[in-house]
Amino acid sequence: MTTQQRIAVLLKKAADATATAEELQELADLVQQDLTGERSLEMETMLRNDAAPAQPYDEAHWNRLADTILSADRPQPAKVITWRAGAWAAAVMLLLASSLTFWLLRKPASVKEPALAAQPQKDIAPGGNRAVLTLGDGTEISLDSAGSGLLAQQGNAKVIKTGNGELQYNASQDGGHSVFNTIATPRGGQYTITLPDGSRVWLNASSSLRYPTVFNGKGRVVELQGEAYFEVAKQPGQSFVVKVDEMEVKVLGTHFNIMAYDDEPEVKTVLLEGAVEVKKAGVARKLKPGQGASLDRQSGVLELMSGVNTEEAVAWKNGFIQLEGNDIRSAMRQIARWYDVEVVYKGNVPAHFTGIVPRNVPVSQVLKMLELTGEVHFEIGDRQIIVSP
């Protein structure tokens, strides 16, 4: 059996949830390529139109996917291919091939059959592109139901919903009168916006961004609640500042993520590219790529974090929930926001999770993956998830 044929067989098993842990490991070892960044987006474009497996089993379909993987440009081989990198690459490919595999990096000694598979459950769909735009005069526009094209005129800026469902501001170069707009996502929503200066912002669920329709003067200032990923357009002599509660993140042009939910114990800023300065009550921390800053909400202490997992910080933007040793409550807060559910705990549930799960599947399938740890059990009710040992 050729490598392509073996990958095709393993892909099919993974998509059918019949692959063993050893077979998943084998698949990750066969793929062995890092598909982060632009390369992953390229692979996604290549596969999305052919991602749903044909029914019944179509050997040609899975061979075609395997061929695409094997024909991808590979990076220079590293001395050691880690399981973490292989698992990430395989997880990306399996997601695009409609697999529903949870990559457990800490495998328990024995794996129980997930309880969710034993009986029919109510299910809850994942979130999607949903947001409300509030204009300067208080008018609210539901972006998920609004058609594409011109939505409003705000001073010298045209507010447009693009054909791919994003919000965009086209401001005239002569500046002019500016008003403040706010875009807010509900629980179970996300949205992407291009600001008047060309900066792009991805808003996660239950988040809001307040910004001017024209950036005048030497500074560009926006206000964030919740979580967002920023790609700031460089403007010589004009800094960009994100205000989060009593903290400020100041940049000139960079890529970074801010997580500042009210129900999280910390406000975290993670830098992917460029440089930022995080300030709180006169204390400043300058970050380099791969570093972060953590503000403890209770003590008010601002600390520098080195060796940050940037993939985990922006996994939500790339369509994943990535867990790096997260405790059950931290993991469930992410799930609750994205699936718009209430989480109820019964008994002591000290489970920790490490791995990657997709965000584009019904919640029952995510919970089934988490149950593979054998440490936790879930029940689904009406907009509710019950967690027990």
The whole-number pLDDT of residue 19 equals: 65
The whole-number pLDDT of residue 305 equals: 93
pLDDT digits (tens, 9 = 90+) for 343-364: 999 988 878 887 788 888 899 9
The whole-number pLDDT of residue 35 equals: 40
State the first-to-last Cα distance of the chain, in angstroms, to the nearest integer: 43
CA distances to 78, 103, 166, 199, 317 from 92, in Å = 20, 11, 24, 27, 13
Please indicate whether residue 70 or residue 283 has the higher confidence score (pLDDT).
283
Question: Given the DSSP bridges, would you call strands 239-244 and 247-251 parallel, antiparallel or unpaired?
Answer: antiparallel
Does the predicted model carry a pTM greater than 0.75?
no
Q: Residue 340 pLDDT > 70, yes or no?
A: yes
The whole-number pLDDT of residue 28 equals: 63
Distance CA(329)–CA(350), nearest Å, equals 9
Strand partners, 285: 278
Q: What is the dihedral of CA 259, 262, 263, 265, to 10 degrees?
A: 70
pLDDT digits (tens, 9 = 90+) for 268-281: 999 999 999 999 98
In order of start, what are the domains of the chain with their CATH numbers?
3-101 (no CATH), 128-262 (2.60.120.1440), 318-388 (3.55.50.30)
Q: Residue 121 pLDDT > 90, yes or no?
A: no
pLDDT digits (tens, 9 = 90+) for 233-261: 988 888 899 999 889 999 977 999 999 99
Rounded to the nearest integer, the mean pLDDT of the chain is: 78
The whole-number pLDDT of residue 43 equals: 40
The whole-number pLDDT of residue 73 equals: 40
- Give the pLDDT mean for 133-149: 94
- Give the pLDDT mean for 288-314: 92
- Give the pLDDT mean for 158-179: 85
pLDDT digits (tens, 9 = 90+) for 40-85: 343 444 444 344 444 444 566 656 655 555 554 433 333 222 323 3
What count of other Cβ atoms lies within 10 Å of the Cβ of residue 113? Answer: 11
pLDDT digits (tens, 9 = 90+) for 73-118: 433 333 222 323 333 343 444 443 333 334 433 334 344 445 554 4
The whole-number pLDDT of residue 178 equals: 80
Q: Which of 34-38, 152-156, 275-279, 314-318 has the lowest mean pLDDT?
A: 34-38
Q: Which of 144-148, 170-174, 310-314 has the lowest mean pLDDT?
A: 170-174
Q: Residue 207 pLDDT > 90, yes or no?
A: yes
The whole-number pLDDT of residue 172 equals: 73
pLDDT band at 282 (very low <50, low <70, confident <90, very high): confident
The whole-number pLDDT of residue 233 equals: 92
The whole-number pLDDT of residue 137 equals: 93
Distance CA(318)–CA(272), nearest Å, equals 14
Of 387, 339, 324, 250, which is closest to residue 87 (Cα–Cα)? 324
CB under 8 Å to 38, separation ≥6 — which residues? Answer: none
pLDDT digits (tens, 9 = 90+) for 218-227: 789 999 999 9
pLDDT band at 156 (very low <50, low <70, confident <90, very high): confident
The whole-number pLDDT of residue 221 equals: 95
Q: Which of 6-20, 50-64, 79-93, 178-192 has the lowest mean pLDDT?
A: 79-93
Please indicate whether residue 144 or residue 106 has the higher confidence score (pLDDT).
144
